[in-house]
Amino acid sequence: MYPLKIIGLGPGHPDYILPIALKEIEAAEVILCGTRHAESFDASGKEMLFIGKGTPLSELMDKVAQVYQNRKTALVVSGDCGFYSLLTYAKKVVPEKDIVCIPGISSLQYFFAKLAISWEDAKLISLHGRDQDLAAALAENKKLGILTDKNNNTAFIAGILQSAGCENSMLYVGEELSYPNEKITRLTVAEALSYQEEGLAVVVVINE
């Protein structure tokens, strides 16, 4: 009998995948992941279950729950497996005692490092497909790390800052982090109101 491995792939670039993660991916027989994740490792000879290709995630996870004990199975996820990832979902279909997590570098951890800003005192939240009380988080914290989506983006965050009277705050926007076309932009609230990302981004707010 095998455990279910949940493996953090890091921010994206292969240089930031931990060696143990690559070792566990190589050993896996069945892998559930996003299509972009599979670009970072050798998937030959493995049964691949892809998120976002038409099959509902619930069906994919049901299959994982059926096979993991008899076949080496892994969920390969972006960043770290314990930060807004599939770990919570996996615990609903697989007993917690059967789950082994392999950590990775989260996009926010990577971004704070690139900015040379400590993050032990930062509030970390996700607006990626989630509703959060961003105004309250901004009011209560001087430093925030935020995962965004196409609607809850940099301009949206700047609008909340402006409404809250935090017009002296600074926003740092990280796009395509760790990839060759990585882009990091420092913006005032006024500048951020009209900023348009080229894709998904993470944002760090220094709230004055």
- Output the six-digit token pair for 189: 């609230």
The radius of gyration of the chain's CA atoms, rounded to the nearest angstrom, is: 18
Residue 30 pLDDT class (50, 70, 90 cuts): very high
Question: What whole-number distance in Å separates Cα of residue 148 and Cα of residue 130?
Answer: 9
pLDDT tens digits along 106-160: 999 999 999 999 999 999 999 887 777 888 888 889 999 999 998 889 999 999 9
Query: 45: which residues sit within 8 A by CB, 6+ positions away?
Result: none
Give which of 129, 123, 126, 147 is closest to 207, Cα–Cα: 123
pLDDT tens digits along 8-17: 999 989 999 9
Asked whether the predicted pLDDT for residue 67 surpasses 90, the reply is yes
Residues 195 and 154 sit within 8 Å (Cβ to Cβ): yes
